[in-house]
Amino acid sequence: MLRLKQIYKVFNEGTPDEKLALGNLELQMTKGEFVTVIGSNGAGKSTLMNMISGKILPDAGEVFINGENVSAIEEHARAKMIGRVFQDPMLGTAPHMTIEENMAIAYGRTNRRGLGFGVTKKRKELFKESLNTLHLGLENRMTAKVGLLSGGERQALSLLMATFTDPKILLLDEHTAALDPSRAELVTNLTKEIVEKNRLTTLMVTHNMQQAIDLGNSLIMMDKGQIIFEARGAEKQKLTVEKLLNEFQRIKGEKMINDRAVLI
């Protein structure tokens, strides 16, 4: 479904700030796979997301979605295949527009936009039905401005808007990080529910190791622009936070020894 082939990306090349964001990264995801991504700050997780969404283009390497090479396709065109939820709840919705208008924009993701009305009677029913699945009562507030909703509600709405038109790939970029624990749990549960129901191919970045272990059927760990650890299927099910931390230390430690060996 998704394939990243030898992706290479450097920022600020040739300056003292040069940073290798992604180095020959390889990633393959099958249809319906739910991969969680962990890694420290600056590991390249966000770059990976932006690389898939098309916000940034690779210096070298190729991106395939559904077998199609999309490396040169711009973000807005690639968005036809990709649903995305950002970390900041404010980024996924338009605050001065109503809930139903926001839904109508999301509905337009897969279709060509024309001069027909965005909110029609028929669509309203569809929007209402989808909003119902959030159990937040938003279906009764369809003409309320989204700016009036709380952060948790906005993020739940963003999640719904990204998924209800059945994207080929769903990208979740630490989408629960800015919420309080109870709201974060709500959105996490909704994520689980929606991804399972629609069997979406999902890539989720998180800083919460427990969340990374609980959700999804694969887990990858990134460091310095590379994938340093991968656990899929049964192996993933057996993971615990402790095991993961040990694994991280083991890999990092070995690397350090290797580096030292080179230096000496």
Partner 1 sequence: MSTALFNSFESGMIYAIMALGVYLTFRILDFPDLTVEGSFVTGASVAAIMIVNGYSPIIATFCAMLAGFIAGAITGLLHTKGKINPLLAGILIMIALYSINLRIMGASNIPLLSQTTIITKIQDAFAGTGLDNMLNGLLSIVGLGGSLPKTWSILIVMLIVAVIIQMTMSAFLKTEIGLALRATGDNEAMVNSFSAHTGNMKVLGLGIGNALVAFSGSLVAQYNGFSDIGMGIGIIVIGLASVIIGEALFGAKTIARATLAVIGGAIIYRIVVTLALRVEFLDTGDVKLITALIVIGALIIPKISDKQKEKSRKKKRLKEIQLRHGGTLSKGGEGYASVKTDL
* Chain residues in the site for partner 1 (CB under 8 A): 53, 55, 75-77, 79-80, 82, 84, 86, 90-97, 101-102, 104-106, 108-110, 113-119, 161-162
CB of 82 to partner 1, least distance (A): 8
The candidate with the shortest Cα–Cα distance to 45, out of 33, 61, 27, 60, is 27
Measured from the CB atom, the residue of 47 and 102 that comes closer to partner 1 is 102
Torsion of CA 103, 106, 112, 118, to 10 degrees: 10
CB of 142 to partner 1, least distance (A): 14
Measured from the CB atom, the residue of 106 and 187 that comes closer to partner 1 is 106
Measured from the CB atom, the residue of 16 and 116 that comes closer to partner 1 is 116
The candidate with the shortest Cα–Cα distance to 204, out of 19, 23, 29, is 29
Q: How many CA atoms lie within 13 A of 98 on its CB side?
A: 13
**What is the rounded distance in angstroms from the CA atom of residue 209 to the CA atom of residue 53?**
24
**What is the rounded distance in angstroms from the CA atom of residue 6 to the CA atom of residue 26?**
6
CB of 230 to partner 1, least distance (A): 27
Length of the chain, in residues: 264
CB of 106 to partner 1, least distance (A): 6
Measured from the CB atom, the residue of 104 and 205 that comes closer to partner 1 is 104
Measured from the CB atom, the residue of 162 and 221 that comes closer to partner 1 is 162
Please provide residue 247's backbone torsions phi and psi, each rounded to the nearest 5 degrees. Answer: -60, -45
CB of 55 to partner 1, least distance (A): 8
